[in-house]
Amino acid sequence: MATGPPQSKSDSPPTPLRIVFMGTPALAAHILTRLADSSRAHPEAFQIAGVVTRPDRPRGRGLAMAPSEVAAVAERNSLPILKPAKIRTPEFLADLRALAPDLLLIAAYGRILPDAVLEAAPLMPLNVHASLLPRHRGAAPIEGAILAGDAETGVTIMRVTSRMDSGPILLRRAIPILPDDTQGTLKEKLAELGASAALDALEMIRRGTVVETPQDESLATYSAPVTREDSIINWDADAAWIERMTRAYDPWPIARTKLAGGELLIWRAEADSSHTSAEASGTILTVAPEVAIRCGRGRLTLLEVQAPGRRRMRAADFVRGRRIAPGARLG
């Protein structure tokens, strides 16, 4: 289905799109920054009518109230901002409609949007989703792609519908997942990729050349929200899975285990799934020259670890300083 913006006259160029951007974290803030820069350079293409983000919340050691990353970008660019505590209210809907958007552009806003909000923009609501849909629908697509061992990931620009991440696709952009990619590095890459893809999609919509393609439901997978409990290592798992955990949960919530009654955070590791031994899972096999742990399948070499409240350090230096010997158990 092709979609285009309203025209002032049949022989006139496309009128600028009025966009309301909805987002919260750093990934969305990067996209908004690119949009704001582009709207200033090309005001004939689109205008940012306003920004919707989550309310300010306590941050930092002093727990002072601070705006979201998206709100900070909106303030720097002098954009109207809405920070509703609740979005299912007549007051918010009236404020949103007062911005007179042609289109909603959503990126990691963090809330399920009701139909009344989605219908506030007559053209369409669009979402920038950080996966190659229909794979990894849901709240944690970047973590999900790393944990699954996917060779690539990317961004999808899709029309938002009432079913989560299931709307028709306007375009997709893919990048490889490198062996050392973490949640953090992929978020940076996908933020830039998502910004470029969103700008391309807006131009296609403005010119009426976009084509919407339904998703193949048979290929759909889901990535549930990540909790701190997800980061606790089960040493009965495959070493390759645990290594992917260390990257998927960097910088949060960080893969972790127990050692000598205390918690140990694992930032970097290498897996050898071919290794076999008779020791129980979680047993420290060697401490020098490397720290190797028996897993359910294979072994995991710890490279960089951290005790809570201490600095990150080489795993070999950590176990030497704690006088930990082979045979000790993790978990």
Long-range contacts of range 89-95, CB-CB < 8 Å, 24 or more positions apart?
A: 92/117, 93/117, 93/120
CB neighbour burial string for 129-142, b if at least 16 within 10 angstroms, e if fewer: bbbbbbbbbbbbbb
pLDDT at 63: 83
Q: Distances from the Cα of 253 to the Cαs of 45, 106, 155, 241, 282, in angstroms? A: 40, 25, 23, 16, 21
Q: Residue 116 pLDDT > 50, yes or no?
A: yes
Q: Residue 1 pLDDT > 80, yes or no?
A: no
2-223 classified as CATH 3.40.50.12280: no
Do residues 177 and 132 make contact, with C-beta atoms less than 8 angstroms apart? no
pLDDT (average), residues 201-222: 96
pLDDT at 10: 47
CATH number of 228-322: 3.10.25.10, 3.90.1280.10, 3.30.70.270, 3.40.50.300? Answer: 3.10.25.10
Kindly list the domain boundaries of the chain, sorted by start residue.
2-223, 228-322
pLDDT in tens, 129-169: 999 999 999 999 999 999 999 999 999 999 999 899 999 99
Identify which has the larger pLDDT, 175 or 7.
Answer: 175
DSSP 297: B
Kindly report the backbone phi and psi dihedral angles of residue 167, in degrees, each rounded to the nearest multiple of 5, phi listed first: -70, 170
Identify which has the larger pLDDT, 71 or 110.
Answer: 71
Share of the chain above pLDDT 70, in %: 96
pLDDT at 5: 56
pLDDT (average), residues 259-275: 94
| Run of H or E residues at 286 | strand 284-286
Instruction: Give residues with Cβ within 8 angstroms of 83, minimum separation 6.
Output: 52, 53, 54, 55, 56, 67, 71
Which of 149, 129, 313 has the alpha carbon at shortest distance from 238?
Answer: 149
Lookup: tokens for 319:
């176990």
Q: Residue 29 pLDDT > 80, yes or no?
A: yes
